[in-house]
Amino acid sequence: MDNKVSIIIPTYKRSKFLSRAVDSALNQTYPHIEVVVVDDNPPDSIYRFEAMEVMAKYGDDKRVIYIKNEKNLGGALARNEGIWKSSGNYITFLDDDDIYLPDKVRNQMEYMIANDVEMSFADVRIHNSTDKLIDYREHSYIGNMCNEELLKQHIMHHLTPTATYMYKRKSIMRIGGFDDAKVGQEFLLMLKTIESGMKIGYIPKAQVIQYVHSGERISIGEKKIKGEKDIYNNKKKYFHRLSERQRRYVKFRYHAVMVVVGIRSRKSLTAVNHLFSAFFTSPTDCLNELKEQIRKLRKYDKCEI
């Protein structure tokens, strides 16, 4: 209970959700926290004004630190700004449109201390804008927690999202925080974490709700297409450490992601080309993915909070 936890919340053009995120951080059952909100909106924009209006209600709360960037830095560097200006022994993250469940920090702190790990990650609940559970992402495929196994599983599946991460301060400082990337920031951070030899733990339980909504996200357009290609090219550097079956799955996953990106970006040719590539790369994985999506639709159709 003597360990202070800093919760880093970058915000950009989503002020209507910001108060919900900050309140979920302040309402943690673990008392020794600080909430560091990094306003990455352009200083002269309406978005900065809206964020300032939201943050005014927390002006008297000494647990809240409000940082206003002099210019837009992007998500990665905004989070780093929060890390450098925080004071907690432990660091964790939250997006401005998502929330922590009340015991998130307490449970993760207790786990990390009990297991003597430098970093931990967990499952996540995915909700739609009406707060209905539509997906639950877990990492049950992990065989053991050695870094070689984690590397393979991260290349194949992505051990994300950022909001489930918690680090010892000295550990995330040692690896330099986030890399300045437009897409895949959390993927690259976990990759650095694993490769650094850090002792990592996994909590098979969700304490974070990630929302899917129609607000602005970096999920469409040329930047997303290029970003996904860059991530895939990065993954290919590790193919010599994967089996043939694992490499085929990574190729399939890339094409499957690009199908979705193509559809969302209204680039039909991109979507169709990658759909054929996904199928011919691994018909088995295509079929399995289709079955899994149908299973999830049936499972969560009747699920409410």
Residue 220: per-residue pLDDT: 63
Burial (0-12, 13-18, 19+ Cβ within 10 Å), 303? exposed
From the options 2.170.260.10, 3.90.550.10, 1.10.357.10, 3.40.50.2300, give the CATH code of 5-211. 3.90.550.10
Q: Where in the chain is the domain with CATH 3.90.550.10?
A: 5-211
**Alpha helix locations (H) across 2-103?**
15-26, 46-55, 75-85
pTM beyond cutoff 0.95? no
Residues 6+ apart with CB under 8 A from 277: 255
Q: What is the mean pLDDT of the chain?
A: 92
Is the model's pLDDT at 304 over the cut of 50? no
Predicted pLDDT at 68: 97
Residue 120: closest CA among 88, 151, 163, 77: 163
User: Helical H runs in the chain?
Assistant: 15-26, 46-55, 75-85, 104-115, 147-157, 169-174, 185-195, 221-236, 244-264, 268-281, 283-300
pLDDT one-digit tens code per residue, 138-192: 999 999 999 999 999 999 999 999 999 999 999 999 999 999 987 899 999 999 9
Q: Return the percentage of the chain with pLDDT > 90, whole number.
A: 81
State residue 92 phi and psi, 5-degree precision. Answer: -140, 170
Question: How big is the chain, counted in residues?
Answer: 305
pLDDT value at residue 300 = 63
